[in-house]
Amino acid sequence: MKQTNVRKLAQAALLCALAVAGSTFSFPIFGSRCAPIQHLVNILASVLLGPGWSVGIAFCASLIRVTTGLGSLMAFPGSMFGALLSGLLYRRFKTLSSALIGEVFGTSVLGGLCAYPVAVFLMGQDAGAIAFYAYVIPFLISTAAGAVIAFVVLIALQKAGVIARVQTSLQN
């Protein structure tokens, strides 16, 4: 039991580090910095560890990105909703496509809409006036790019049998 928890924690730390390091590869779209590697990490965490771990990794990576200046406050709604929905759908349907769909919908629609109150209350009224319209599309672009990368990576890992081995080792 303790060995499994240590393995999960180590896996989560590696994925969090990947998300933070990967955020140096980002590009601006309208009012948002798109970091597709975060979405890749969300999907990997959802498939390998589950929804709770995926949200925790997204939160920790967002916190580190914001405090180090690698991201804005939009990193929180831009990653956590997709991580949660990706993990929940993967847990329910056990297919890679469900994890991808959950990440894209959760980040672009739910995260984009939740960016509005973050912009209004934490970033000021001016940002809030455009957030409702300006974050859904950039979040969609970012998460779609991350989902494509994740799809390629996960298919390769699945064909090599890595996903099944990692999932088995984390359950024991």
Output the pLDDT for position 90.
Answer: 97
CA angle 122, 127, 129 (to 5 degrees): 115
Output the pLDDT for position 33.
Answer: 67
Low-confidence ranges of the chain (pLDDT < 50): none
Phi-psi region of 108 (alpha: psi -120 to 50; beta: other; left: phi over 0): alpha
CA angle 71, 86, 159 (to 5 degrees): 105
Q: Which residues are CB-contacts of 121 (< 8 A; sequence separation ≥ 6)?
A: 128
- Smallest CA-to-CA distance from 31 within 113, 102, 131, 110 is with 131
Quick: pLDDT tens for 79-91: 999 999 999 999 9
Output the pLDDT for position 117.
Answer: 77
DSSP codes joined into one string, 59-83: HHHHHHHHHHTSS-TTHHHHHHHHH
d(CA 102, CA 50): 13
C-alpha distances (whole Å) from 73 to each of 63, 95, 117, 122 are 9, 31, 11, 8
